[in-house]
Amino acid sequence: MAQPDPMLSMLEWLCKQLMEAEITEAIGAKKNERSADRTSYHCGYRVRRLDTRIGTMYLMVPKLRSGGYILFFVTERKRSEAQEFGSGEEAGSKD
């Protein structure tokens, strides 16, 4: 059995922490916390595949009872690095 890639494991952990922090801010309370400022509730997770240069990750993306949550670092199922830096095609076609 192959050992998991440590860089990929760290990236998965970082993505999970960022998603949980973003959800907490969006709904106004931590998971299972009671708050008068709460706007929605956690309603499980869904699996999303994320392809990166260092490998493929399967992320557990939080679901919300009302409203939706889209990963801030993935929008159109493209490599996230390509979205951040833009593609060479877009840069060359400014005529």
pLDDT digits (tens, 9 = 90+) for 20-42: 888 888 888 877 778 787 787 77
Distance between CA atoms of residues 79 and 65, nearest Å: 28
More reliable by pLDDT, 83 or 48: 48
Distance between CA atoms of residues 36 and 62, nearest Å: 21
Residue 88 pLDDT class (50, 70, 90 cuts): low
What average pLDDT is seen over the chain? 76
For residue 43 the two structure tokens come to 């309603």
- Asked if pLDDT for residue 1 goes beyond 60, the answer is no
- Give the start-to-end residue ranges of the domains of the chain: 40-95
Distance between CA atoms of residues 95 and 51, nearest Å: 32
Judge contact between 42 and 19, C-beta under 8 A. no
